[in-house]
Structure 1
Amino acid sequence: MRKSLLVYDGSNALFRAAAEAVTRRTDDLVAVRWDAEPVQAFLEAQFDARPFAFILVEGDFVHVGQETVGRILRRAGVAGPLVDRLKRTYAVGGAPLGRLVHGRTVADLDGTFPLSAGAAAHLAALRQVQEIPVREAGAGEP
């Protein structure tokens, strides 16, 4: 079974905890940090850029922004009307929240895109990730 990948901002403890909560319930979803070099190579191959965005790779498709929010919430069993409201909230509040919490603007990129062949080549190693780092390594730590 090919694992799906959730690309998230790992620099924030709240988002690391949320990613862990989402992936702990399933064996087919792996969370990977946006700032990891293999993720950056994947983004460059897929988008010819490195957009700062919430991304889900499922099968041969790459979901970005609101679409990722909706798919992750549905995987968690959240009811449809609430999913729709949260997607709208993300659409309106994603950019300001990105600047406030992440210190950068979230890419103005939403929707579902076919996975490019070049980007697919970067996924095998990313799908092997086994755990989410819950804190950043400090001095003297690996």
Structure 2
Amino acid sequence: MTQSLLVYDGSNPMFRAAAEAATRQVDGVVAVRWDAKPIQAFLEAQFDSRPFAFILVEGESVHVGTETVGRILSRLGLADPLVAGLKRAYAAGGAPVGRLIHGRTIADLDGTFPLSAAAASHLTDLRQVQEIPVEEAPIEED
């Protein structure tokens, strides 16, 4: 089975910790920061833009927003009613939380989309890596 990629905002310590915890508990999923160059190229190829969103690339599908929340929580083994409630909470609170925590509004993009061939080519190397560091790399100053 092809490794799944969880695209998340790595600029926030809380989200880095959540991504690390989720990927540690779910087989076959690695976390990749939204701002990683290969992910930015993937987003441009998949959506003709670079939407700021919570994304799960799973097989030949790209899940965005509430669908990502639902799929990850289900893979963690949470009960369906809890997953449904958390999806509703994400749908209702995602935009304001995005502005507050991320400093930007999450993209108005939600659902499951087929993975385009052009976008898939940007993920080949990432899907081969067994572990992608979730921690922020130190920035060197001049």
The aligned counterpart of 2:134 is 133
**TM-score, normalized by length of structure 1?**
0.94
Superposed counterparts of 1:104-123, under 5 Å: 104-123=104-123
Greater CA deviation, 96-105 or 22-31? 22-31
Task: Please tell me the residue identity of whatever aligns with 1:33.
Answer: R
| Structure 1 runs of 4+ with >6 Å offset | none
Greater CA deviation, 20-29 or 112-121? 20-29
| Equivalent residues of 1:16, 1:132 under 8 A apart | no
TM-superposed deviation, 1:20: 0.5
TM-superposed deviation, 1:127: 1.6
Task: Please tell me the residue identity of whatever aligns with 2:124.
Answer: A
| Equivalent residues of 2:3, 2:30 under 8 A apart | yes
TM-superposed deviation, 1:132: 2.4
RMSD: 1.3
In the aligned structure 2, how far is the partner of 1:61 from the partner of 1:68? 11
TM-superposed deviation, 1:125: 1.4
Secondary structure of the structure 1 residue equivalent to 2:104: coil
User: Cα deviation per residue 1:65-91 (whole Å; 9 max; x = unaligned)?
Assistant: 000000000010111001111100101
In the aligned structure 2, how far is the partner of 1:29 from the partner of 1:122? 17
Query: Any unmatched runs of 5+ in structure 2?
Result: none
| Equivalent residues of 1:4, 1:57 under 8 A apart | yes
In the aligned structure 2, how far is the partner of 1:26 from the partner of 1:94? 23
Alignment: residue pair count: 140
Task: Please tell me the residue identity of whatever aligns with 1:2.
Answer: T
**% identical equivalent positions:** 71
In the aligned structure 2, how far is the partner of 1:27 from the partner of 1:87? 21
Superposed counterparts of 1:31-70, under 5 Å: 31-70=31-70
In the aligned structure 1, how far is the partner of 2:120 from the partner of 2:136? 28
Query: Any unmatched runs of 5+ in structure 1?
Result: none
